[in-house]
Amino acid sequence: MKTRERILQTALQLFNEQGEPNVSTLEIANR
């Protein structure tokens, strides 16, 4: 899986769990 795809997949997962306004780019990067 490409890096871009992994970032998008992680972001979507966090957005679904926490809501988009509650997710930071740092949190996405740390996963």
**Is the pLDDT reported for residue 1 higher than 90?**
no
What are the extents of the domains in the chain?
1-31
What does the mean pLDDT of the chain come to? Answer: 97
Distance CA 1, CA 21 (A): 26
4 vs 1, higher pLDDT = 4
| 22, pLDDT greater than 90 | yes
Q: Is the pLDDT of residue 26 over 90?
A: yes
State yes or no: pLDDT of 21 exceeds 90: yes
Residue carrying the six token digits 């795809």: 5
pLDDT at residue 11 is higher than 90: yes
Hey, how many other C-beta atoms are within 10 angstroms of the C-beta on 10? Answer: 16
